[in-house]
Chains A and B, each alone.
Chain A
Amino acid sequence: MSSLNLLYSEIEEELRASVRDLLADHSPTSGILARIEGPDVYGPSLWRQLAAELGAAGLQVPEQHGGAGASLRETAVVMEELGRTVAPVPFLGSAVLATTVLLRTGDDALRSLADGSHRGTLAVPLSSAPGRPFTPSVTVHPDGTLSGRVTSVADALGADLVVVPGDGGSLHLVEGGFTATPRTSLDLTRPLADLTFERTPARLLTADPAVLEQALLTGAGLLASEQLGIAEWCLTATVEYLRERRQFNRPLGSFQALKHRLADLWLDLVGARAAARAAADALATGAGAGAGEDGDAAVAVAVAASHCGTVAVRAAEECIQLHGGIGMTWEHPAHLYLKRAKADQLALGTPAHHRAVLAALVNLPA
């Protein structure tokens, strides 16, 4: 039986430590709280540091295309750390979704995404999902230009390389000539925008709809790692708080009623780590159906997305409740995690959608 590698390698742990150090220095919670209501959520330097100096944007890109020649396993570790800090960076849109497309279609623009000099995204509503027929909202004119509007696109603000799905699941690359209108988003740290194209010049990347499906599948699978990171922060912060906070002349964390809730949450999180690692490894090894039960990436992603999406929301909700009044304030960061977790639950397929996909994959028909 082929078996997935569910552990973290030493190199992955080193990468995690570097990303964590960088985020601690350049994206403290106080900074995020200050920026989320300003004109530029992303801030001036974090993306440059993460993408260019640390090389995180090009992890899954081969070295001959300007990347680090690593894989989606390492990319998933970065997603975990970004979830743990709810850092506002366009990593999902640029380093995961757009990069996954360009890796498969081949395009010189890949290099500028990998080195962080450009930011990309995939022009789909964030609620789009793998395993569901995609209905394009953009028309491709005979001259190759694009017209139309795509709502609720993640990481679109400031993006200058946009992959746009057209008729029949074809994919087109746009480098400017469109407008991005910010939306007021539930998730303050991953702001959404509507993209409008009007005879926007574009070049055809592929007519194969499987590429879009693969990008959405990859996004959903790696989002599970982000959800794991969110849940980890929420559990850790709650445990720390309950160890310190005293009521009734004892630490709140000594009350069995609270301990049992946290133990259950920990168990959910342990499962989330195994599931997220399984999805990342299955995607990284490029295994498809027929690769043996453990290697089937579509199943691994559906399991991870279904479980981790639920766990992150539960962890964030428990975090708010167990913090009591302070958890309800704007100044405490817990709300940033709740908003990210809830938005992530809807992003790239809800848990219920992923279970419906699973029903077909594992032959459990309705």
Chain B
Amino acid sequence: MTTAPEEELRSRTRALLSEFDPADTAPLDFLRARFDAGLAWVHFPVGLGGLGAPRALQAVVDTELAAAGAPDNDPRRIGIGLGMAAPTILRYGTEEQQARLLRPLWTGEEVWCQLFSEPGAGSDLAALATRAVLGPDGVWTVDGQKVWTSSAHTARWAILIARTDPALPKHKGITYFVCDMTDPGVEVRPLRQITGEAEFNEVFLTGVRIPDTDRLGAVGEGWQVAQTTLNNERVSIGGQRTPREGGLVGIVADTWRSRPDLRTPELHQRLLKHWVDAEVLRLTGERLRQQLTVGQPGPEGAGTKLGFARLAQELTGFEVELLAEEGLGYDDWTMVRPELVDFNGREAGYRYLRAKGNSIEGGTSEILRNIIAERVLGLPPEPRTDKDVPWKDLAR
């Protein structure tokens, strides 16, 4: 059904296309013009790349632009900026911060990374030890170590949480900052992982200077601000729309169809179970999207990442086994620094190993189960000894 707001968006999109013909406009110029026309993310406010329209209507714009061959902002390359930094800046940023940061974030001119996890603060993120101290000049000095940072070596900016008051209980003494990755105190080292490549980094912060105007939210409110970031991370990891057989299951199904020599009755039974699981998960994601479209977000979002991790690990383990002798090989152990995780561009062994991270990154499956049990099912929390104790008195 065509509605008036859809028509309105369509005509705005066509106006953009006629003023900036993609055929003879530089991609960056087109993206900037698209942002300024409010067609970048239509649910954002006017002036910040949006029109204050329902999020679901973005598809109208995207469809028109794709049909016209317009360049996009390569969203997978700037996923942290789009999925995590932007919603947080929108909710907690000052007008100056929003005006300065969101446009180059969206166009991809400035890549973002996330400085949250630490060697001593993984699932227990609130225990983080990176310190930020405010000097009399209104500038914070930051010292500490962060880990599992993708894009740190290409990023212009980072979202950073650091401890600003060790005398408070751990959730209360944290503050949220925007960190300039070109500061001389920032050192980025590749972190090689079980696949052989280094997709992530360790980031050492030594005397990094952050002006107080680069703080997001109030001093001591960093934990609440980070919740916005993390909730959006889980949505962006688990929320992609896929057609049937669109994910890993499609790779396995294609191998099955093209390689009758590999088939056994036992593998057949398992393949069909995995196929059903994949289809059920796809329908779950589709149902979640339909709920969001009509403005009834369901708690399903908390579960899709958990389900995706389980399925990816089962499917990739199955695939290596299915390949028999070929499953004994590995495509390449060379230490490379990929910009994107590409499950499709590598072989089965890589997929098997990389999928192990799916239940760890962005909230472990164990933490997600706690969240579901407590926030969705309403079960009581475990008794805790760390919540009301000053951070500096906790065992480390």
Q: Which residues of A contact B (CB under 8 A)?
A: 1, 3-7, 235, 239, 242-243, 250-251, 253-256, 259-260, 262-264, 266-267, 270-275, 277-278, 293-294, 303, 306-307, 352, 355-356, 358-359, 362-366
Choose one: B265, B273, B290, B372; the contact of A263 (CB below 8 Å).
B372
User: B1 → chain A, closest Cβ, in Å?
Assistant: 13
Choose one: A259, A307, A365, A366; the contact of B373 (CB below 8 Å).
A259
> Please, how many angstroms separate the alpha-carbon atoms of A262 and B370 in the complex?
10
- Is the Cβ of A271 less than 8 Å from the Cβ of B244? no
- Is the Cβ of A262 less than 8 Å from the Cβ of B279? no
User: B237 → chain A, closest Cβ, in Å?
Assistant: 15
User: B369 → chain A, closest Cβ, in Å?
Assistant: 4
Do A274 and B272 form a contact, CB below 8 Å, given A243-B379, A256-B382, A263-B377? no
> Please, how many angstroms separate the alpha-carbon atoms of A366 and B265 in the complex?
6
Fill in one digit per residue for B53-93: 1 if any A CB lies within 8 Å of its CB, else 0: 00000000000000000000000000000000000000000
Most buried by B among A253, A266, A362, A363: A266
Q: Which residues of B contact A (CB under 8 A)?
A: 243-244, 253, 256-257, 260, 263, 265, 268-269, 271-273, 275-277, 279-281, 283-284, 286-287, 290-291, 294, 296, 300, 303, 306-307, 366, 368-370, 372-374, 376-383
- Is the Cβ of B376 less than 8 Å from the Cβ of A266? yes
Do A274 and B283 form a contact, CB below 8 Å, given A259-B373, A355-B272, A355-B276? yes
Chain B residue numbers with a CB within 8 Å of A306 are 276
Choose one: A1, A259, A271, A359; the contact of B281 (CB below 8 Å).
A271
> Please, how many angstroms separate the alpha-carbon atoms of A67 and B253 in the complex?
44
Do A254 and B283 form a contact, CB below 8 Å, given A5-B290, A293-B244? no
> Please, how many angstroms separate the alpha-carbon atoms of A3 and B376 in the complex?
27
Chain B residue numbers with a CB within 8 Å of A272 are 280
> Please, how many angstroms separate the alpha-carbon atoms of A239 and B376 in the complex?
11
Nearest 3 CB-CB pairings of A with B: A259-B373, A263-B369, A274-B283
- Is the Cβ of B379 less than 8 Å from the Cβ of A274? no
- Is the Cβ of A6 less than 8 Å from the Cβ of B369? no
- Is the Cβ of B243 less than 8 Å from the Cβ of A273? no
- Is the Cβ of B306 less than 8 Å from the Cβ of A250? no
Chain B residue numbers with a CB within 8 Å of A262 are 373, 377, 379
User: A212 → chain B, closest Cβ, in Å?
Assistant: 25
- Is the Cβ of B380 less than 8 Å from the Cβ of A243? yes
Chain A residue numbers with a CB within 8 Å of B382 are 254-256
Do A3 and B286 form a contact, CB below 8 Å, given A262-B373, A359-B272, A366-B265? yes
- Is the Cβ of B283 less than 8 Å from the Cβ of A250? no
Q: List 17 A-B contacts (CB under 8 A).
A: A239-B377, A239-B378, A239-B379, A243-B379, A250-B383, A253-B379, A259-B369, A259-B374, A262-B373, A262-B379, A266-B303, A274-B280, A274-B286, A274-B287, A278-B283, A364-B256, A366-B265
- Is the Cβ of A363 less than 8 Å from the Cβ of B257? yes
Chain B residue numbers with a CB within 8 Å of A278 are 283
Choose one: A4, A254, A273; the contact of B380 (CB below 8 Å).
A254
- Is the Cβ of A358 less than 8 Å from the Cβ of B275? yes
> Please, how many angstroms separate the alpha-carbon atoms of A277 and B281 in the complex?
13
User: B270 → chain A, closest Cβ, in Å?
Assistant: 10
Choose one: A5, A242, A267; the contact of B303 (CB below 8 Å).
A267
Chain A residue numbers with a CB within 8 Å of B244 are 293-294
| Minimum CB distance partner of A352 in chain B | B269
- Is the Cβ of A364 less than 8 Å from the Cβ of B272? yes
Chain B residue numbers with a CB within 8 Å of A242 are 379
- Is the Cβ of B290 less than 8 Å from the Cβ of A7? yes
Chain A residue numbers with a CB within 8 Å of B291 are 7
> Please, how many angstroms separate the alpha-carbon atoms of A254 and B379 in the complex?
6
- Is the Cβ of B381 less than 8 Å from the Cβ of A254? yes
Chain A residue numbers with a CB within 8 Å of B268 are 359, 364, 366
Chain B residue numbers with a CB within 8 Å of A273 are 287
Most buried by A among B244, B257, B269, B382: B244
Choose one: A1, A255, A266, A303; the contact of B243 (CB below 8 Å).
A1
Chain B residue numbers with a CB within 8 Å of A254 are 379-383
Chain B residue numbers with a CB within 8 Å of A7 are 287, 290-291, 294, 296
User: B293 → chain A, closest Cβ, in Å?
Assistant: 9
Choose one: B263, B279, B284, B381; the contact of A366 (CB below 8 Å).
B263
Choose one: B253, B257, B275, B373; the contact of A260 (CB below 8 Å).
B373
- Is the Cβ of B283 less than 8 Å from the Cβ of A293? no
- Is the Cβ of A271 less than 8 Å from the Cβ of B307? yes
> Please, how many angstroms separate the alpha-carbon atoms of A253 and B370 in the complex?
11
> Please, how many angstroms separate the alpha-carbon atoms of A175 and B176 in the complex?
75
> Please, how many angstroms separate the alpha-carbon atoms of A271 and B303 in the complex?
9
Chain A residue numbers with a CB within 8 Å of B253 are 362, 364
Chain B residue numbers with a CB within 8 Å of A3 are 286
User: A281 → chain B, closest Cβ, in Å?
Assistant: 10
| Minimum CB distance partner of A307 in chain B | B280
Do A256 and B370 form a contact, CB below 8 Å, given A355-B273, A364-B256, A364-B257? yes
> Please, how many angstroms separate the alpha-carbon atoms of A307 and B279 in the complex?
10
